[in-house]
Amino acid sequence: MRFCQASSAPRPLALALLLLAAACDPREITVNPALAQFDGLYRGSETSDQVASACGTTGSIIKFEVSDGQVAVQTHRHSGRLLGTVGADGQLVMQNADGSRQLSGAIQDGVLTAVETSSSTSNQDPYASAAPPCTSTIRATRIS
């Protein structure tokens, strides 16, 4: 914490110094307007680009939460949360904790479009290890 000495300063100057010291607090959160334009909840669908059962079901509902340049989605798959960032231009990149799922795309005019690539496949397919990486297309609209 920063302290200002203002004992000999006139009252208006002391008040100004006090306000400046308060404005320097590193805990103060500054919202970037370029990023805030993307803030909100997005809901849509994820559709597998492959027909093979190794890549999972098609038409799954997916929800994203975007806040101050950060984006998260709790997934229905075993590989857990996807976390990432949104740039000032709306470009987004995400991945899960072990890097087996990546998502890249963009938000434009309240619509999030992306492609997800997954290197993991279903345990139910005996030929899964021979399958190429799975991809799916995502389209979600801001709902709040």
pTM: 0.69
- Domain parsing of the chain, residue ranges: 1-30, 33-142
Q: Which residue has the higher pLDDT, 7 or 15?
A: 15
Choosing among 2.40.128.120, 3.40.50.720, 3.40.50.800, 3.40.50.300, the CATH entry for 33-142 is 2.40.128.120
Question: Tens digits of per-residue pLDDT, 65-112?
Answer: 999 999 999 765 555 689 999 999 999 999 988 888 899 999 999 999
Distance in angstroms (rounded) separating the CA atoms of residues 70 and 65: 8
Question: Tens digits of per-residue pLDDT, 19-69?
Answer: 555 555 454 555 688 999 999 999 999 888 876 556 765 668 899 999 999
